[in-house]
Structure 1
Amino acid sequence: MLEWITNTVDSLGYVGIGLLMLLENLFPPIPSELIMPLAGFAVIQGKLQLVYVIVAGVIGSVLGALPWYYLGKVWGLRRIKRFVDRYGKWLSVSSEDIDRARQWFQKRGRETTCFSRLVPGVRTYISVPAGISKMPLLPFLVYSTIGTALWVSFLTYAGFLLGENYDRVKQYLAPVSTIVLVVFVVAFVFWIIRRNVKQK
Structure 2
Amino acid sequence: MTDWIFPVIDKLGPTGVGVLVLLENLIPPIPSEVVLPLAGFRARTGAMHPVIIWAAATAGSLLGALLLYGLGAWIGYDRLHRLAEQRWFLLTSPADLDRGRRLFDRHGAWIVVVARCVPVLRSLISLPAGVARMPLFRFATLTTAGAGTWNAVFITVGWLLADNWHQVGTYTRPAGIAMTIVIGVAVAFLAGRKLRNHSRGED
| Distance in 1 between residues matched to 2:95 and 2:60, nearest whole Å | 36
| Contact 2:90-2:190 within 8 A present in 1 as well | no
The SS at the match of 1:120 is coil
> Which residue number in structure 1 is paired with residue 156 of structure 2?
157
1:72-118 CA-partner distances (Å, limit 9, x unpaired): 10011122111111136756x42132122112101111110011000
Q: Does 1:2 align with 2:6?
A: no
> Which residue number in structure 1 is paired with residue 58 of structure 2?
58
**Which stretch shows the higher mean deviation, 79-88 or 127-136?**
79-88
The SS at the match of 1:167 is helix
1:156-175 alignment, distance < 5 Å: 156-175=155-174
How many residues of Structure 1 are paired with residues of Structure 2 in the alignment?
A: 197
Q: Does 1:11 align with 2:11?
A: yes
- Note the residue ranges of structure 1 that are not aligned, 5 or more in a row: none
TM-score by structure 2 length?
Answer: 0.87
How far residue 186 of structure 1 moved from its aligned partner, in angstroms, is 5.0
| Distance in 1 between residues matched to 2:87 and 2:186, nearest whole Å | 21
| Distance in 2 between residues matched to 1:72 and 1:96, nearest whole Å | 19
| Distance in 1 between residues matched to 2:53 and 2:115, nearest whole Å | 22
Structure 2 letter corresponding to 1:46: G
> Which residue number in structure 2 is paired with residue 49 of structure 1?
49
1:129-178 CA-partner distances (Å, limit 9, x unpaired): 00000101100000011110111111111111211121221221011122
> Which residue number in structure 1 is paired with residue 119 of structure 2?
120
TM-score by structure 1 length?
Answer: 0.88
| Distance in 1 between residues matched to 2:89 and 2:153, nearest whole Å | 41
How far residue 189 of structure 1 moved from its aligned partner, in angstroms, is 6.2
Structure 1 letter corresponding to 2:143: S
| Contact 2:62-2:143 within 8 A present in 1 as well | yes
Cα distance change of structure 1 residues 17 and 97 upon mapping to structure 2, 3 Å threshold? same
| Contact 2:83-2:89 within 8 A present in 1 as well | no
Structure 2 letter corresponding to 1:181: T
| Contact 1:88-1:94 within 8 A present in 2 as well | no
